[in-house]
């Protein structure tokens, strides 16, 4: 018997998608070098206003600086 079947009564599904794996992307601040894990769907929401290939930038929760994907930051 799988875990999903145990959690929900027979005939019910996970209506809010709470059991789905969430894709996480690491962002790093250009100012304080702090990092933050951001769900992929949030990045998708910010991408709507961007041109193709344009990078998503977020505000750092630590210093309010600019955060970009950690993979795009040059090595120190």
Cβ-proximal residues to 25 (8 Å cutoff; 6+ apart), any chain? 37, 38, 39, 40, 43, 69
Q: Residue ranges of the chain with pLDDT lower than 50? A: 1, 4-5, 76
Domain boundaries, the chain: 23-76
Q: What does the alpha-carbon distance between residue 26 and residue 49 come to, in Å, rounded to a whole number?
A: 21
Tell me the pLDDT tens digit for each residue of 46-66.
Answer: 777 777 878 899 999 999 999
18 touches 46 (CB < 8 A): no
């Amino acid at each position: 018997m799988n875990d999903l079947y145990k959690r929900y009564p027979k005939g019910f599904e996970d209506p809010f998608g709470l059991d789905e794996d969430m894709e996480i992307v690491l962002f790093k601040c250009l100012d304080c070098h702090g990092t933050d894990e951001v769900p992929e769907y949030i990045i998708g929401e910010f991408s709507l206003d961007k041109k193709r290939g344009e990078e998503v930038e977020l505000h750092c929760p630590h210093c309010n600086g600019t955060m970009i994907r950690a993979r795009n930051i040059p090595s120190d």
